[in-house]
Structures are given as structure tokens and as C-alpha cells.
Structure 1
């Protein structure tokens, strides 16, 4: 098989990948895409890009397409990333949620998407344990979702290198992690069991229908990979996934104010958060 892809091959693949995931690769990502795609073609034994592409498009199990997703998505994160948003969650947002009218006794439901290798949902769990007194009297359900099944498996194992835990306070690391082989750290089984992990794609309607009645959604640094059309689709899906009065946390470089009027912009002391109106 030839060791490179033609521009036509690249265009075919990126259009297909975009339609399936909402993630767009421009020409500046050509080397990144070619390298990973050629490796998949070689590992499957396909004779050419065309043969590989046809088999992926018509594969009923979608197993190979999932393999492509797993190698094409970038998953780089660490514990307590953008810590100011967690402070907003534990110091303002959760208390406001439990005081909303007609709240009832239903558990608070929090979603991390994309969850990547688990640092974000586990950070939320740690922040609740360490910094939110309301955890003693209110039930919380924590979910983590991602399009990449490999990172979900790693998140379930909960083993991290020094870089991932470098910003954790030493006492938090001591209380909730165990040092394992290779100088790595595994988060406690209790915390791993407290987070429900599953696969979800914001560009897939069936997946989006399963995301409902969340009080808080963390969707940080995902929309930057989408074009305007895919971003609008994702914003609508996130709105539908929140219950009235729920809050959406985005990455520090992301803003949806110019794209939609669905959300109210809430300015807290430490961060800006988007809220689905109560009515």
C-alpha cells in the first residue's frame, strides 16, 4: 500500500468523520490524520485507502470506526484543571440548585462530557467530598461520557501518572489515591464506583436522547473542535440535556453567547456559567 494519502482521500475521510462526529479536520491537521489513518489501514490489512474506506462505511458493527475515533481524538487533561470552575460549583451553583422551587428530593445529577481518562469527573467527586458540606444531606449522581471507548476504559481503571495529579493538594492525594507500580496513582475504588461511565456522541441523535435531566453539565474544550453547524447542534443537545434551571460549564476559551439565546449568562465571582432558564 502507498505510504501517503491523496488530497482526495483526505477530503473523503474528513467529510465522513465530520458527518459522524461533528469534528472537523482542516488542512493543518493533514499530517496528524494521515499518520493515524495509515496506521489503521496497515493494521487491518487493507490493500488501499479505498478498500479500507469502503469497509468502514458499510461495516455493520462499527467496530473499526470506533477504532478510528479512538486514535483521532485528543485526550489530554489533569486533575483540578480550571479549578476556579469547581469553586463556583461548590460555593454557589450547587446551593442555588437545591434551593430552587419544586426541586423536590431528586438527586443532583452532574455530567462530565467529554470525560476523557476520568480526571474531570473524578475531580468533581473529590471537590464534592472535600468542599461541599451539602453532600452530607443530598444525593448526587455523577456521570462521565466520551466518544472514545479506550479512554473510558482507562478512566474505569483510574490509574494516573505524576503529571495528571500534579495539581492535587498533597493531603487529597494521600486520602483518595494509592501509589502503584511505576510511580503512578490509582484513585480509590469508592470514587471510581461513584462515577457512571458510558459512551456518547453529541452528533448522534440516539445518544443525545439518552442525556436528560442533568442539573450540571461540564462540557469543556469540546466545542472548539466543531464548526459552527456542529457547534449549534451540540449546544441544542446540551440545552435539552439540562433540566430547567440547570447549569452548563464550558472551557475558558469557549463562549456561546453569540450563537444562541437559549441560555442565560451567569457571572459568578470565579467564572461565567450558562444556565437553562427555569421557565
Structure 2
């Protein structure tokens, strides 16, 4: 261990065995695939965490992270990818307000609960986009008790989401009128989402390959799970999709990323071709 007061920003050269061990740990904890082809990415993030933990030896660090839950959480956070912005894959939001929710509420009464889950929600843009879009584009938004839940395995991203502060890049695709209506200006071209909207979205940690972290969230009418399954292998995809299936009400809809498909994973979902998007429905 280092005796310095400040963590050293060194990136250790890992052996092939160490790369494989890191990959096995991350796969077991998250379902994500990391191997030799991501060597630089792995070494950089392992090096950062070793420096912060003041541990110089890779083997010692891997033993430490395997037995300390807080460091495991921090390492998982370091490896997650939070590429997102408001109104990402807008065509799915169009389908949500124009076709999916009208079908969902067809069997509900005014005031009934409608539950929407954004998983992964990253730093909040994904979940808040749903709330903003519905306020702007679904005339019946006030007729039902709409509950939006955002979840992610990255607890640091969730903390950012709960704060509700965003930079210019995150807001770039929003119409100016929407930005002015729902975001308060702060220093440095940053904006904070208004309190009423921030408090309307609930955030909770969840791991899509760990059923135990999902049971407390209940079941949903709509799930947006976009651009996550591409990081999994076939086995992890089947596990994740099984957990998503169990988290859905009968007849619920799920939206995947544009390059993702249920076809090679399971036959438990029906493909539905909507005017704006292709989605899946629980049989």
C-alpha cells in the first residue's frame, strides 16, 4: 500500500490472467463482458480504483474488491457506460404517447396506476425524458397516476440523476421551449430540472442480472431497457430478459435499443410493429 496523501494516477500493466480475472468478476456481478480486447479500458479503470484505495499490487486489489462491498460498488460504477442525453431514440417516446399508453389504459379507469420503468436510467436523462415527453405530448397524463422509476447498477449515476443537474450536451436535443419550461438556469450553462418534475421520478438501484435487486420494485406496464443487452453474452441476455419478463404486468410493453432484438433470446414476447417503433409485448 502507498503512504502518500494523494492517490497516484498510475495504470498498471495487467497480465492476461489478471485481465481474465477482472472479466470474470465483472461478468458475475453485472453480466457485462470485458476481456483482452478491452485491455486499455480495464487497466485504466483498475488503476484509478487502486490509486484511490492506495493499493499498489493488482492481486491484492482484486482480493480486496472481492471481499469489500463498497469497493465492489465503486469498481462497477467505474466500468459502466453512461452515454445518454434527453429524448434519446425519440421515436420510442412518440410510440409511448401515441400507441403504447393508449393501449395500456384501455383496461384501466381514470386515476389508476400506470407504471413505467427506465432501466438503465444512467444519469437521469432517460427517466426524466419520459416525464417531460408525457407532459408535453400525452393529453391523458393527468387522468392517470403515472409512476416513473429509474434504475441503474451505477450508484454514482443514480446520485447524479437524483440531483437533476445537466449540461448543454445532455439538453441539446430538447426544444428551447421545453428547456425553459422544465429546467432552471444555473452557472456555467448548466441547468437544474424543476423540483416538481424531479420529485415525480423515483430512482432506485437495480442489477438486471440479479433478481433479488428487482423484486422490491414491483411490476410495470412499460419498460424502456435500451442499449444494455448489447454488452451481455447469450447467457447473460437470457437471464436479464427473464428478469425483465418477471418485472412486467400481463400485456406490458418493453422497448429495446435499435440494434437489440428479442428474437434470438426468447419467445416469451410478441413483436409489435407500431407506427413509430418496433417494440415487444409480454404474451
Instruction: Please report the TM-score for the alignment, with normalisation by the length of structure 1.
Output: 0.95
- CA distance in 1 between counterparts of 2:245 and 2:239 reads 10
Q: Secondary structure at the match of 1:196?
A: strand
Whether the 8 Å contact between 2:110 and 2:144 is mirrored in structure 1 is no
Q: Which residue of 2 aligns with 1:253?
A: 259
RMSD of aligned residue pairs (Cα, Å): 1.5
CA distance in structure 1 between the aligned counterparts of 2:201 and 2:131, rounded to whole angstroms: 8
Match of 2:88 among 81, 93, 105: 81
Using a 3 Å threshold, how does the CA distance of structure 1 residues 42 and 136 change in structure 2: closer, same or farther?
closer
Structure 1 equivalent of residue 6 of structure 2: none
Q: Secondary structure of 1:126's partner?
A: helix
Structure 2 distance, partners of 1:103, 1:20, is 41
* Runs of 4+ residues deviating >2 angstroms: 102-106, 208-212
**Is it true that 1:241 corresponds to 2:247 in the alignment?**
yes
5+ residue gaps, structure 1: none
Q: Is the deviation greater in 29-38 or in 102-111?
A: 102-111
In the comparison of the two structures, how many residue pairs are matched? 274
The answer to whether structure 1 residue 208 and structure 2 residue 217 are counterparts is: no
Deviation sequence 1:153-177 (CA, Å, 0-9, x none) = 1111111111111110111111111
Equivalent residue for 1:45? 54
Deviation at 1:38? Answer: 1.3
Question: Is residue 226 from structure 1 mapped to residue 232 from structure 2 by the alignment?
Answer: yes
Residue 64 (str. 1) matches residue 71 (str. 2): yes
Q: Equivalent residue for 2:7?
A: none
Q: Give yes or no for contact 1:86–1:127 (8 Å, CA) kept in 2.
A: yes
1:136 shift after superposition: 2.2
Cα distance in 2 for partners of 1:41, 1:57 equals: 13
Equivalent of 1:23 in 24, 29, 32: 32
Which segments of 5 or more consecutive residues in structure 2 lack a partner in the other structure? 2-10
1:98 — aligned with what?
105
Which of 132, 151, 161 is the aligned partner of 1:155? Answer: 161
